[in-house]
Amino acid sequence: MSTPLIPEKLYGIIGHPLAQTLSPALHNWGFARLGVAAAYAAFPTPPEKLAAFIQAVRTLPIAGLSVTIPHKETVMPLLDAVAPSAQRANAVNTLVWEDGLLVGHNTDVTGFVAPLVEREGLKSVLVLGAGGAAKAVLAGLSELGITDIVVTNRDLERARKLAAQFGVSAVGWEERTGACADLVVNATPMGMKGKAEEDSPLPPGFWKPGQTAYDLVYNPRETLFLRQAAKARARVIDGLTMFAAQGAAQFKLWTGLDLPMEEVRDLLARALYA
């Protein structure tokens, strides 16, 4: 029987609230799986405590952090530097020490792009939503060189503001079904368990064979949005794919090691859907 490693480095996640976070389960499993002497903990941090916590990070032996709602934007001025991906998304979800500097990265962008890299024929995109998740989507699409993009949101002014930030188009929510798109990304909470699980941001008649539906909602894994798309013979990408990829990208930033992705997805699926 192998002897458990004594943690030499401490990582964690900051956000508020953190009761439902899967990050400790993922990263502690990863450390054990790859033999890394490290531990990962949740640090619930209300907004009024954020600045003090980041100051404490500079004196405590904390090697890196995940950042989640509501700190992804407000943490940025508290850092020494922000990586290009995080600058494009105007949001940070990972903190890393680099040459003595506390640097912010955005692996949500990496996670979003991961399942699209091998897919051909994605030239036009409809993005549903205009919040923080949509920013990561648009930053990722920019990395892929896709420019024919339409953003829509119930608040048209919010959609226009986000579209202007990335140099793309915006349409009103009522006009979204008129958009032609090879790829449609749901960056809204619609379909999320406990909120709007039986809702979809698009009517079932929207879909055509050959389109790709990508839902950032990962609980439930098969949302109404994806079920309707699959029924019309569109390709589907579930939110667990992005969630797993962004977590693995965080792990690699901290350790330089690649997590086995099939095992990561199985781990997260068991945690979420058991």
pLDDT in tens, 233-250: 999 999 999 999 999 999
State the average pLDDT for the chain: 94
Question: Does residue 4 carry a pLDDT above 70?
Answer: no
pLDDT score, position 6 = 78
pLDDT in tens, 109-142: 999 999 999 888 899 999 999 988 999 999 999 9
What ranges make up the beta strands (E) of 49-145?
A: 62-67, 81-82, 94-98, 101-105, 124-128
Q: What is the mean pLDDT of residues 68-86?
A: 95
Task: Please report which confidence band the pLDDT of residue 167 belongs to, taking 50, 70 and 90 as the band edges.
Answer: very high
Q: What is the mean pLDDT of residues 188-195?
A: 88
Please tell me which residue, 3 or 274, carries the higher pLDDT value.
Answer: 274
pLDDT score, position 121 = 86
Question: Does residue 2 carry a pLDDT above 60?
Answer: no
Alpha carbon distance 25, 6 (integer Å): 17
Task: Please report which confidence band the pLDDT of residue 73 belongs to, taking 50, 70 and 90 as the band edges.
Answer: very high
Q: What is the mean pLDDT of residues 169-189?
A: 96
**Both tokens assigned to 238:** 């579930």
Domains with residue ranges and CATH for the chain: 9-105+241-273 (3.40.50.10860), 111-237 (3.40.50.720)
Percent of all residues in the chain with a pLDDT value above 90, rounded to a whole number:
88
Question: Does residue 1 carry a pLDDT above 50?
Answer: no
Q: What is the mean pLDDT of residues 97-110?
A: 97
Q: Is 9 a catalytic residue?
A: no
Element (H, E) at 141: helix 132-143
Task: Please report which confidence band the pLDDT of residue 52 belongs to, taking 50, 70 and 90 as the band edges.
Answer: very high
Mark residue 79 as left, alpha or beta (left: phi above 0; alpha: psi -120 to 50; beta: remaining). Answer: beta
From 33, 30, 52, 71, select the one nearest 254 (Cα to Cα): 30
Mark residue 30 as left, alpha or beta (left: phi above 0; alpha: psi -120 to 50; beta: remaining). Answer: alpha
List 9, 49, 72, 252, catalytic entry: 72
